[in-house]
Amino acid sequence: MNRVPMEGKVLNENARVAAELRERFCEHRVLVVNLISSPGSGKTTLLEKTLEALPRDSRVAVLTGDLQTENDANRLKRYGFPVKQIVTGGTCHLDARMIEKHIAAWDLSQLDMLIVENVGNLVCPSSYDLGEAAKIVLLSVTEGEDKPLKYPSIFFKSELMVLTKTDLLPYVPFDADAAITNARRVHPEMEVVKVSCLGGDGLGEWMSWLERRRQTFLSTLSQPVG
């Protein structure tokens, strides 16, 4: 009977903390992006390729969420950038308090970008603002092209869809054009990047998108308020 009021209270508290985080990120000019997908869609592999491609002096950090292990953080630490694992202990999403806690020891003035890898789930993470500038949803070709219609909330809230594992397209019954059409039925302005982390196709486009998004973020900070 108290489920709905309690859920509303939790989300309201999360929204308050997220707003405070967003203000801090803007103050320090840190672009924050939130990567969301089903389990196994390739978030960590995409992050590996991203960190590998960045110049060593790039001011980028990563928070990666998982239910139990620190495996993803261990994979990403090899590239020399600040990485922290958020172990949720069974919670199916990250929330703003988790972000606040895990960035506490970082000097945000030394960062230009923070990439958050959310827990593998297309439902719960869509409800939790983390103070990010943009949500990014990944969809792999090993899933169904109707995923955007089945899980419309996260596709509606995401600026970009990264279609992953495209090297498998010749071997799986997946219609990439239909997937993109479905995504744009939910979110007509959805941008799309097709990526194969194995073959490297589309990685340059992905990196360019991140840079353009950062420049857009910085330009909004320079605009007068009101």
DSSP for 181-210, written as a single string: HHHHHH-TT-EEEE--TTT-TTHHHHHHHH
99-112: average pLDDT: 97
The mean predicted confidence, pLDDT, of the chain is 93
Triad 13, 18, 21: Cα angle to 5°: 135
Q: Any idea where the domains of the chain sit in the sequence? A: 3-221
pLDDT score for 222? 78
The token pair at 100 is 């606040």
Say yes or no to pLDDT of 217 above 60.
yes
pLDDT classification of 78: cutoffs 50, 70, 90: very high
pLDDT score for 10? 74
132-162 pLDDT tens trace: 999 999 999 999 999 999 999 999 999 999 9
pLDDT score for 70? 80
Total-model pTM? 0.92
158 neighbors 58 (Cβ within 8 angstroms)? no
pLDDT score for 5? 65
CATH 3.10.580.10 given to domain 3-221: no
In 3D, which of 121, 186, 119 has the Cα closest to residue 158?
A: 186
Say yes or no to pLDDT of 103 above 50.
yes
179-200: average pLDDT: 97
Please name the residues in contact with 223: beta carbons below 8 A apart, sequence gap of 6 or more.
none
CA 17 – CA 131 distance, rounded (Å): 8
pLDDT classification of 163: cutoffs 50, 70, 90: very high
Mapped onto helix, strand or coil, the DSSP state of residue 144 is: coil
In 3D, which of 120, 139, 116, 148 has the Cα closest to residue 194?
A: 139
pLDDT score for 177? 98
Which letter does DSSP use for residue 89 in this model?
A: T
Say yes or no to pLDDT of 225 above 60.
no
9-68 pLDDT tens trace: 778 999 999 999 999 999 999 999 999 999 999 999 999 999 999 999 999 999 999 877
CA 151 – CA 119 distance, rounded (Å): 16
User: How many angstroms separate the Cα of 131 from the Cα of each of 48, 64, 114?
Assistant: 23, 15, 11
How many Cβ atoms are within 10 Å of 17's Cβ, its own excluded? 18
Which letter does DSSP use for residue 90 in this model?
A: T
pLDDT score for 1? 47
